[in-house]
Homo-oligomer: A and B are copies of this chain.
Amino acid sequence: MEAVGYSLTQHPDMQLETLADDAIDIVCAAQQENGYLDTHYIINNLDNAFTNLRDAHELYCFGHLAEGAIAYYQATGKDKLLHTVERYADYIDSVFGSEEGKCKGYPGHEIAEMALAKLYEVTKNTKYLELGRFFIEERGKTPYYFDLEHKTTLKEGDTTQRYLYNQAHLPVRQQKEAVGHAVRGVYLYSGMADIARITGDEKLYQACETLWDNITEQKMYITGGIGGTNLGEAFSFNYDLPNDTAYAETCASIGLVFFARRMLEMKPDSKYGDVMERALFNGILSGMALDGKSFFYVNPLEVLPEASHKDERKFHVKPVRQKWFGCACCPPNLARLLSSIAAYAYTESEDTLFVHLYMGSKVDKKVKNETGSDSMVQIGIEANFPWEGKVTISLKSQEKTNFTLALRIPDWSRGFILSDMENEQQRMKDGYLYITKTWDKEESFVINFNMETSLIRANPLVREDFGKAAVVRGPLVYCLEEADNGKNLHLISIAEKPELKEITEEFLGQKPVIITGKGKRLKEESFEKVPLYFHEDQEIYEDVELKWIPYYLWANRGEGEMQVWTKK
């Protein structure tokens, strides 16, 4: 429903809208007198409503329902589902809260926090904001609500992991490390950021920033993937980022983008925009096949198909995308993100438009004209990201305007050239180039980011990547595939001087930039007929030409090995 709303904003479609209206009628008809609306419990046993917050996803479903209702309302002006959600939220508010007699629970799988903040912003009803805040502040208090709820079934001894899994081990303001289920984590942190922004809570912002820094400085794959372990689909410990058993769920990277967007709204710092872009172009896009019809839940950085088939520890790592999954969160999450991508490209303050992502787009902004009155300006961006670093920005208005355009200077760009701009109009701050000036009625300029191909190292504390390098170009991370480089990718190393070249090649109907370079590969005679263990001997290498494709394009040519990090 949420994706439908976003889609209708950009692409009106009566057939789709009618389908949505019919679905809304069905959903709303299920609502109970008191406002409750979760069909699983309505059908099975209403007495059990809200008795298993930890596992049963009731508040999670409420959150998605609310986000869908809001998007649909904003797209169409139709408020039937929105009112239904308000009634459900009112009921939830009557059940949960800090007041005596109310339940002190909070969502097992977070998202209601974000949804309630949004619902407040649409309805201006502070009750929803307070309920969202309650869910956030209550989390991690002792006695642990989830234990109270599961008193009779809990076993001794498994407490720590259980609390960590749910980010319920400590009150959120005291959490310094991102732990537990990665999607749940970033959904929680996104909700915290919403509340921090709306309420101007600087300390809560700092709690968010601490968690952000921990994720992005110690727990994130180079693809923007998060969740180093499949056990609990969770964050692992600092610097534990195994490539071949990664979880890096598509939804977790999407959640990271939610979190980034919210942090940017409070403080434009390119560290948020850089990660947003990294996740979008790599660990998220990889979640969907080129034809949009099959999906990855898990986005590994290294795949050996034999292991995926035979080694239970890697059964979660699929070598080809699947049509659909039992727990199909990723495909619709991709749909709602990609259909609302514009919302991630820009944020604004009164006198500044921030450009975080460079993509072909037009955006209108209310600014001041030369005399200080309101005026509208349309800012247009032309770019061919991620293939070219050149961005053309044009501005159009009825009169001269006075405002600031803040452009993110990507972390991957080692320099940029800005055309036709005077130095005194420019200022760098927190990774953004602020251009403050009086703009002509029609004006355009070009910023050209250095998008050269380069080799990246991971911090040596990432054990799995030590002695290896990854190829990147602009926002794209690249990988080797068996289809281009043969089997046993682990026997390949990048040459001392790899002489990386960029070539443009037809690739399944696309024209991506592909990277080639020099490497060496252990010759087969070095391991054929060699025993399992042997006295050190001369190994024989051959020179090979390596070919890297963008990571997001992997696994579109059938099953084969893949690796992002290559020995160097």
Contacts and interface: CB of A to CB of B under 8 A. Distances in A.
A469 B534 CA distance: 10
Given A161-B312, A217-B531, A467-B567, A536 B455 contact: yes
Contacts of A216: 532
A237 B534 contact: no
Contacts of A461: 488, 527
A501 B470 CA distance: 37
Nearest to A460: B527
Interface stretch (A120-128, A303-311, A365-373): A303-311
Nearest to A309: B237
Given A216-B532, A454-B535, A461-B527, A310 B491 contact: no
B237 A532 contact: no
A429 interface: no
Interface string A90-113: 000000000000000000000000
A458 interface: yes
Contacts of A462: 532
A310 B567 contact: no
Contacts of A534: 456-457, 459
Contact of A532 (B236, B459, B490): B459
Given A218-B532, A414-B535, A237 B307 contact: yes
Contacts of A240: 307, 310-311
Interface residues of A, number: 52
Nearest to A218: B532
A85 interface: no
A541 B423 CA distance: 42
A467 to B, nearest CB: 7
A229 interface: yes
A312 B310 CA distance: 20
Nearest to A456: B533
B536 A469 contact: yes
A535 B245 CA distance: 25
Given A237-B306, A466-B490, A467-B467, A232 B311 contact: no
A491 B466 contact: yes
Contact of A313 (B229, B456, B470, B527): B229
A454 B534 CA distance: 10
Interface string A151-181: 0000000000100000000000000000000
Interface in A273-311: 304, 306-307, 310-311
Contacts of A531: 217, 459
A537 interface: yes
A491 B460 contact: yes
Say how many copies of this protein the assembly contains.
Answer: 2
Nearest to A465: B533
Interface in A226-244: 229-232, 236-237, 240
Contacts of A312: 161, 229, 231-232
Contacts of A236: 310-311
Interface string A440-474: 00000000000000111111111100110110000
A490 B475 CA distance: 30
A413 to B, nearest CB: 11
A542 to B, nearest CB: 13
Nearest to A302: B463
Q: Quick one: which of A459, A470, A526, A533 has the most chain B CB within 10 A?
A: A533
A220 interface: yes
Nearest to A215: B532
A456 B217 contact: no
Nearest to A463: B490
A19 interface: no
A465 to B, nearest CB: 9
Contacts of A467: 467, 567
A568 to B, nearest CB: 8
A104 to B, nearest CB: 29
A461 B457 CA distance: 25
A355 interface: no
Interface string A475-488: 00000000000001
11 contacts: A220-B532, A222-B533, A229-B313, A230-B313, A236-B310, A245-B313, A457-B536, A457-B537, A458-B532, A459-B530, A460-B491
Enumerate the 10 nearest inter-chain pairs by beta-carbon distance, A residue then B residue, closest first.
A460-B527, A231-B312, A237-B310, A455-B536, A463-B490, A459-B530, A459-B532, A456-B533, A217-B532, A222-B533
Given A218-B532, A454-B535, A460-B530, 18 more contacts: A216-B532, A222-B533, A229-B311, A231-B313, A236-B310, A237-B307, A237-B311, A240-B311, A245-B313, A313-B313, A456-B536, A457-B533, A457-B537, A459-B530, A460-B488, A460-B539, A466-B490, A467-B467
